[in-house]
Each structure stands twice: as C-alpha cells, then as structure tokens.
C-alpha cells in the first residue's frame, strides 16, 4: 500500500462542558491514499463531520483538538500556523458540504465565487479567473457554462448548486477531497449524478477522497474502504467488500440488519437498533454501544472497559469479537 495522502492519528477533539471537556471525537485514526475513496459511516452525532472539520482547523469555537495529528503528505496540519493552514485548505484539501442550498453566498454571481477561490490562492487576474471558472463549470458538467457563470445561486437547482460547490472544491486541483454528505439534501435521481461526478473527478485527478455518509448503498457503490463511527470513535474499519461480506462489530451488524431488503417476504419488519446513541457528556464507562448491543456481556467487560480498535486490516473495537466469530 502506498503512503497515505491524508492520515489522522489518534485525533481527539472536545468542547468545554459543565463537568470538564466533552470529547466529541476520541482517538480517531484514519487514512486515505491517492485514488482511493474512504467512506466514513455513522449516524447523526457520531462525530463524522467533527473529525474532519477539526482536522482542518475549522471546528467552531470553543471546540478544539486536544490530542492527535492530522497528517497531509507527512505534515501535521494541526501544528501549522493559521496562515499556512489556510493555504492548505481549499488549495490542497477541498471540502464539499452537505447543504448546497445555503453553501453559496446569495448576493454574488456564481462565477465570481468560483473566481474568488482561484484568486485567493493564485495570483491571477480577474479575466483569467473568470475564464477558468467557466472551464470548471464545464468540468462539473453544467450545461452552457459561459452563460451560467453570470447567474446568481438562486437561479440554480439544488443539484446544480452542489456541482458549483464541487467546482469550487476542485478549483485548485486538491490532492484530497472531503465530501460531507454531499447528496443528503438532494433528491434521489440527482444524488446518483453527483456521486458519479465525484468518482469521475477522483479518478481523473487521482485525488484521495473521503466520503462522509450514512447511506450504506452509497458506500457499496463508491467506496474502497469504510470506517464505521459510533459515539465519537471508529468501531470498525476495513475494505468495503470485507466489511460488507462479514461485518464484525455488533453495531455494523445491526446497521446492515436495519436496511430494508426488497427480496424479503411481505410483512417482514425492519430490525431497527433500539435506543439512541449516548450523549457525549454521559458516555458509559465501558463500550459506548453496550447499552444497545445484542451481544454485550458484563463478563467480557463490555460495561466497564473501553474496547480498543484491533490492529488488523479489517479492524474492530469490540470485547465480544472472539465469541461473535465462533457463533458465525
């Protein structure tokens, strides 16, 4: 395996709370290499977004990273001065956000906003920036780009706006593209188009891509590797085919069980995961998933000790691992 382009090591981010620091994400380690797509999966509040915003120094105050590293080509972004980090953001690492409807400034023309990214990092003139904005719009398959650069965001549909935001994210040829639920706000037919566009761009540019999502169908189609997050921690990670064939963490297993199956006989009930994820201020002292877990057992320390992620290719953080495998 080639050296990772973007790697998080033991990243822990917290906000101050009434009873000490509340850890939003804990000891997250992930990596992604050029040309590869890593899917980060988890329910709302599991820390998917916080992981990456904190790695790029975008975590809103008073949140901050209290431990760990975020390595981009070997440089720790968290040790960079704000000014140097700013130069990496946008230029080397692009980000696409969840909500394309509000991601663009309503008072400026689309072309000017794309040109702004270019001019923030390159010393090029207005005219050249405008020309390249047109090329970028063409690149993200917006019809009639020479004309659409003059339009305002409200003249674009949701899918088109997401294309514009993608154009802004890839404007400077970043080596890493982080897409945070890029299709959640879009309707289903548009979702597929946007995902196809993203994987096309990733292939052409040889970017490393992080796809944050809670849609396992998207993961199966787009990703090479997957990291499942639960309550601020990575609980399982591995190659997509492996994890999908044989999920090992009870949370992952439950996730797959809760997907509707079109071939199931009529009347079959879905198997939702009972309960809700813990409040980060009141995480159980043992495994955070134990209260909802079908396999948890006190004898194995599920309620008292925090399970650590194993060190293998298909890694899992669960005390009951051995037992589950025997049962399978």
Partner 1 sequence: MSATVDDIEIREEAAQRRRAAIRRYAKHPGFVIGACGILVLLVVALLAPWLAPHSPTRTDLMNTLAPPSATYWLGTDQFGRDVLSRLIYGAQVSLQVGFFVVLISLSAGTILGAVAGYAGGWVERALVAAIDILLAFPSFLLALALVAARGNTLDSIIVAVAIAYTPRVAAVMRSVVLTIRPRPFIEASRAIGLSPWKIILRHIIPNALPPVIVVATVSAATAILAEAGLSFLGLGVQPPTPTWGNVIAEGQTSITTNPLISLSAGLCIAFTVIVLNLLGDGLRDTLDPQMRRNTGKLL
Cα(270)–Cα(276) distance, integer angstroms: 17
Between residues 140 and 255, which has the closer beta carbon with respect to partner 1?
140
User: What is the closest distance, in whole angstroms, from the C-beta atom of residue 29 to partner 1 in the complex?
Assistant: 23
Return the SS3 of 261: coil
Give min distance, CB of 297 to partner 1, in A.
Answer: 43
> In terms of CB distance, is 170 or 243 closer to partner 1?
170
What minimum distance in Å lies between the beta carbon of 224 and partner 1? Answer: 24
CB of 171 to partner 1, least distance (A): 8
Helix and strand counts by DSSP (H, E) for the chain: 11, 11
CB of 111 to partner 1, least distance (A): 11
> From the CB of 113, what's the least distance to partner 1, in Å?
8
Task: Report the nearest approach of partner 1 to the CB of residue 94 (Å).
Answer: 8
Contact between 234 and 318 (Cβ < 8 Å): no
Write the DSSP assignment of 176-215 as a string of letters.
EEEEESTTTTS-HHHHHHHHHHHHHHHHHHT-EEEEEES-
Nearer to partner 1, 108 or 256 (CB): 108
Give the residue with the Cβ less far from partner 1, 103 or 291.
103
CB-wise, 153 or 238, nearer to partner 1? 153
Residue of 100, 110, 167 whose CA lies nearest to 137: 167
Take residue 69 and report the two structure tokens written for it: 């590293």
Of the chain, the end-to-end C-alpha distance in Å amounts to 30
- Picking from 23, 168, 21, the residue whose alpha carbon sits closest to that of residue 91 is 168
Between 154 and 282, whose beta carbon lies closer to partner 1? 154
What count of other Cβ atoms lies within 10 Å of the Cβ of residue 164?
Answer: 27
Nearer to partner 1 among residue 152 and residue 244 (C-beta): 152
Three-class DSSP category at 143: coil
Give the interface with partner 1 as residue ranges (CB under 8 A).
Answer: 56, 58, 61, 86-91, 94-95, 97-99, 102-108, 116-117, 120-121, 144, 146-147, 150, 165, 168-169, 171
Contact 296, 290 (CB under 8 A): yes
User: What are the backbone angles phi and psi of residue 127, rounded to the nearest 5°?
Assistant: -65, -45
């Amino acid at each position: 395996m080639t050296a990772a382009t973007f790697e998080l090591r033991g990243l822990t981010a917290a906000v101050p709370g009434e009873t000490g620091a509340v850890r939003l994400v804990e000891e997250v380690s992930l990596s992604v290499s050029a040309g590869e797509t890593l899917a980060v999966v988890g329910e709302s509040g599991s820390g998917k977004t916080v992981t990456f915003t904190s790695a790029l120094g975008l975590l809103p105050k008073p949140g901050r990273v209290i431990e760990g590293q975020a390595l981009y080509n070997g440089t720790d972004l968290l040790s960079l001065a704000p000014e140097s980090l700013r130069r990496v953001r946008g230029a080397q690492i692009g980000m696409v956000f969840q909500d394309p409807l509000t991601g663009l400034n309503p008072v400026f023309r689309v072309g000017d906003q794309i040109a702004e990214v270019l001019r923030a990092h390159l010393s090029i003139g207005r005219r050249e920036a405008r020309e390249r904005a047109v090329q970028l719009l063409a690149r993200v398959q917006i019809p009639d780009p020479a004309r659409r650069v003059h339009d305002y965001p409200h003249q674009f549909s949701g899918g088109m706006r997401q294309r514009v935001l993608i154009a802004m994210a890839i404007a400077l040829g970043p080596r890493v593209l982080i897409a945070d639920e890029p299709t959640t706000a879009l309707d289903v037919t548009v979702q597929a188009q946007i995902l196809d566009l993203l994987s096309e761009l990733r292939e052409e540019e040889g970017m490393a891509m992080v796809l944050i999502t809670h849609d396992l169908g998207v993961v199966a189609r787009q990703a090479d590797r997957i990291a499942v997050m639960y309550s601020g921690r990575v609980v399982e990670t591995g190659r997509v085919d492996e994890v999908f064939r044989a999920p090992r963490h009870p949370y992952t297993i439950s996730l797959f069980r809760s997907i509707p199956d079109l071939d199931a006989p009529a009347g079959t009930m879905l198997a939702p995961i009972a309960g809700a994820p813990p409040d980060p201020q009141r995480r159980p002292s043992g495994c955070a998933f134990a209260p909802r877990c079908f396999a948890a057992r006190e004898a194995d320390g599920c309620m008292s000790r925090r399970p650590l992620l194993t060190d293998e290719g298909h890694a899992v953080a669960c005390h009951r691992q051995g037992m589950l495998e025997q049962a399978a």
